[in-house]
């Protein structure tokens, strides 16, 4: 197989949205010379990411880890893709065993998710819709503890970390600042990526100062995303990667449809337009960045 034109460094073809045609979707990306890293969010999706990667000799890889929303039992509706989380604790030994598979190139996605904190309900069988949510500070503490454990696992195995960060509507920067402080105290030895970055230039610089990469999704193509495009102009191409977060965040002209790794080209082309450089330059540099970070 040829060297890739692009690498979608964060997709979820291991999710139920691709249950019927996941292999076809991955093959479609490979035919466009696009490599894919499937990212786990809990035990089951992490295993499926590995199983999917093992079907291909090259060009499909896995990252395993526990997403912060899966620490609590709740119902989630991401872009009308409904699913339930069961409240999983991070099992260091189980994830270590998975992460030692040769197809696993990183740990994650792990991090802080404050977006739904007010909506989380208690993990009790008799919970009612109007029950007061779990204590927010306790939830944040659980997220921090799980994140630190996963950074420690990544450091033990010398693998990079895929960081997830989503702030609350009330405090659009709080989760980012909390993550920055955690990373300062628990630095990932093999580096890492801030996936689906949507913060400000000032926050971007703080992550760059920590030696991390920033990756961008189809959001950069949205009409109302000019502030994010300003960040894209600011971030050096040498610290940037591209992703889809499929099945979510489909770029124009696919908004409202299921996103897939082949769509990463549209994000790369928009980045080239925003930066005033060629698509080929964006593709070459972001691919090289991914190959360096994930040792592909």
Cite the annotated binding site for a divalent metal cation by residue number. Answer: 10, 12, 109, 164, 195, 245
- For residue 165, give the 3-state DSSP assignment: strand
Which among 242, 286, 249 is positioned nearest to 264, based on CA atoms? 242
Exposure class string for 92-112: b at 16+ Cβ within 10 A, else e:
eeebeebbebebbbbbbbbbb
Cβ contacts of residue 38 below 8 Å, gap of 6+? 11, 12, 13, 14, 48, 49, 52, 53, 60, 61, 62, 63
Separation between Cα atoms, residue 286 and residue 169, nearest integer Å: 30
Annotated binding site: 10, 12, 109, 164, 195, 245
Bridge partners, 39 (sequence order): 63
On the question of a cis peptide bond just before residue 253, with omega within 30 degrees of 0, the verdict is yes
Cβ atoms of 147 and 97 closer than 8 Å: no
Separation between Cα atoms, residue 107 and residue 65, nearest integer Å: 5
Give the Cβ contact number of residue 165 at 10 Å.
25
- For residue 64, give the 3-state DSSP assignment: strand
Separation between Cα atoms, residue 124 and residue 105, nearest integer Å: 36
Cβ atoms of 97 and 46 closer than 8 Å: no
For β-strands 60-64 and 192-194, DSSP reports them as unpaired
């Amino acid at each position: 197989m040829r060297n890739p034109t692009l690498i979608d460094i964060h997709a979820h073809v291991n999710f139920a949205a691709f249950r019927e045609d996941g292999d076809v979707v991955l093959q479609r990306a490979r035919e466009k010379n696009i490599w894919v890293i499937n990212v786990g969010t809990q035990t089951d999706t992490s295993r499926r990411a590995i199983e999917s990667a093992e079907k291909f000799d090259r060009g499909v890889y896995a990252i395993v880890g526990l997403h912060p929303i899966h620490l609590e039992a709740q119902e989630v509706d991401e872009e009308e893709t409904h699913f339930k989380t069961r409240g999983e604790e991070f099992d260091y030994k189980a994830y270590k065993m998975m992460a030692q598979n040769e197809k696993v190139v990183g740990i994650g996605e792990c991090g802080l998710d404050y977006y739904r904190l007010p909506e989380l309900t208690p993990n009790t069988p008799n919970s009612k819709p109007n029950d007061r949510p779990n204590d927010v500070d306790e939830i944040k503490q659980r997220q921090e503890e799980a994140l630190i454990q996963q950074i420690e696992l990544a450091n033990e195995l010398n693998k990079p970390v895929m960081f997830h960060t989503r702030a609350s509507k009330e405090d659009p920067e709080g989760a980012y600042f909390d993550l920055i402080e955690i990373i300062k105290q628990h630095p990932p030895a093999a580096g890492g990526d801030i996936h689906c970055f949507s913060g400000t230039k000032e926050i971007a610089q703080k992550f760059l100062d920590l030696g991390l990469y920033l990756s961008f999704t189809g959001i950069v193509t949205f009409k109302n995303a000019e502030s994010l495009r300003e960040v894209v102009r600011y971030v050096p191409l040498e610290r940037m990667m591209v992703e889809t977060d499929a099945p979510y965040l489909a770029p124009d002209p696919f908004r409202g449809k299921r996103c897939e790794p082949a769509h990463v080209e549209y994000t790369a082309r928009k980045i080239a337009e925003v930066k005033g450089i060629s698509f080929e330059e964006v593709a070459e540099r972001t691919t090289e960045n991914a190959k360096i970070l994930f040792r592909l």
